[in-house]
């Protein structure tokens, strides 16, 4: 009798657990920043479950959770420049999936869309962008190259309902031979610039000396002229007896008796 009671209790507990499990499986909690893709009997439905608690039929329905938050993906991309220099670039992409199109993404790309669509698109974008520029231009025109690759990735992934918010080229890496050549060229350019600056400095100093000498010569000339005028005036005054000339000529040939004129003025 006791054994039957134990068995009955055990069976009741098992049935209760099964029922509880079935009840719990009829509700799905979609966490913030995620969406639920609904599959009924294996077929992906257009319905997308948003954040919150949802009732489902656990016997025929499965819910696949997909991350809809902004994600960051970094990868090394290999490409070649216009002048056929091999390049490796570290690229970072920020993206998120279109929540409303989550079922389409799952049906067409699956959960591994990083490897099936995002990575190949980044590789293609870098090949397309770098092939337009020489290796040296890749160094000096990085913002322009980044924009070209960004536009390519954004357009391609947008067609698959993946929205790209940012694209960054973290670093370019070239072959050791090319890197050495660039370094040597930069050193030569810096030395040439330093020499040019030195010559400009010497030229400027020489010009300053010429201007300084010219100014000093002009000052000496003006000083000499001033001294000569004063000396002539002094010599004239030393020899002048204080008497005015008796006559002075005029333009019409007439002569004026200065002495007589002075007497008349005194009277």
CATH number, residue 114 = 3.30.479.30
Return the residue matching tokens 């893709």. 37
Q: Identify whether residues 29 and 62 lie together within a single domain.
A: yes
Q: Is residue 146 one of the residues assigned to a domain?
A: yes
How many other CB atoms are there within 10 angstroms of residue 217's CB atom?
A: 10
User: Is residue 54 located within the same domain as residue 79?
Assistant: no
Of 123, 156, 174, the position where a domain reaches its end is: 174
> Which residues, in sequence order, are CB contacts of 72 under 8 Å at separation 6+?
92, 93, 94
Number of domains in the chain: 2
252 in any annotated domain: no
Q: Structural domain of residue 164, as residue ranges?
A: 71-174
> Which residue, 174, 201, 232, sits at the end of a domain?
174
In a domain, 236, yes or no: no
Determine the pLDDT at residue 171.
83
> pLDDT for 114-162, tens place per residue?
999 999 999 999 999 999 998 888 888 889 999 999 999 999 999 999 9
Would you say residue 210 lies in a domain?
A: no
58 pLDDT band, cuts 50/70/90, is: confident
Say whether both 40 and 105 belong to one domain: no
pLDDT in the model for residue 266? 47
Task: Give one DSSP letter per residue of the chain, joined into a string.
Answer: -HHHHHHHHHHHHHHHHHHHHHHHHTEEEE-TTEEEEEEETTEEEEEEE-SEEEE--TTTEEEEEEE-S-EEEEEEEEEE-TT--EEEEEEEEEEEE-GGGHHHHHHHT-TTHIIIIIHHHHHHHHHHHHTTS-HHHHHHTHHHHHHHHHHHHHHHHHTTTEEEEEEEEEEEEE-HHHHHHHHHHHHHHHHHHHHHHHHHHHHHHHHHHHHHHHHHHHHHHHHHHHHHHHHHHHHHHHH--SPPPSEEE-TTS-EEEHHHHHHHHH-
250 pLDDT higher than 80: no
pLDDT digits (tens, 9 = 90+) for 172-192: 888 777 767 666 765 566 666
Cβ atoms 34, 8 nearer than 8 A: no
Q: Is the pLDDT of residue 61 over 60?
A: yes
Whether 76 has a pLDDT exceeding 90, the answer reads yes
Length of the chain: 267
CA angle 135, 180, 141 (to 5 degrees): 25
148, 129 Cβ separation under 8 angstroms: yes
**Last residue of a domain, which of 67, 85, 112?**
67
My answer on whether 90 and 61 are in the same domain is no
- Tens digits of residue pLDDT in 209-235: 787 778 777 777 766 666 666 655 666
Q: Is residue 232 assigned to a domain?
A: no
């Amino acid at each position: 009798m006791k054994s039957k009671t134990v068995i009955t209790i055990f069976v009741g507990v098992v049935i209760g657990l099964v029922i509880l499990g079935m009840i719990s499986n009829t509700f799905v909690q979609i966490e913030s920043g995620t969406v639920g893709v609904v599959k009924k009997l294996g077929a992906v439905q257009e319905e997308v479950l948003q954040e919150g608690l949802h009732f489902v039929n656990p016997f025929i329905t499965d819910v696949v959770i997909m991350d809809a938050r902004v994600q960051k993906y970094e990868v090394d991309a290999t490409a070649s420049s216009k002048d056929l220099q091999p390049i490796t670039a570290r690229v970072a992409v920020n993206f998120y999936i279109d929540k409303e199109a989550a079922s389409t993404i799952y049906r067409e790309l699956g959960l591994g869309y990083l490897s099936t669509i995002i990575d190949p698109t980044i590789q293609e974008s870098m090949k397309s962008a770098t092939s337009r520029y020489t290796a040296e231009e890749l160094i000096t025109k990085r913002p322009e190259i980044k924009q070209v690759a960004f536009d390519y990735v954004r357009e391609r992934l947008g067609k698959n309902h993946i929205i790209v918010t940012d694209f960054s080229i973290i670093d370019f890496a070239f072959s050791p031979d090319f890197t050495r050549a660039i370094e040597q060229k930069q050193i030569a350019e810096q030395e040439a610039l330093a020499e040019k600056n030195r010559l400009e400095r010497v030229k400027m100093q020489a010009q300053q000396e010429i201007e300084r000498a010219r100014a000093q010569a002009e000052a000496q000339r003006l000083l000499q002229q001033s001294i000569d005028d004063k000396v002539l005036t002094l010599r004239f005054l030393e020899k002048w007896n204080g008497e005015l000339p008796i006559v002075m000529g005029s333009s019409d040939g007439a002569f004026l008796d200065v002495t007589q004129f002075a007497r008349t003025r005194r009277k």
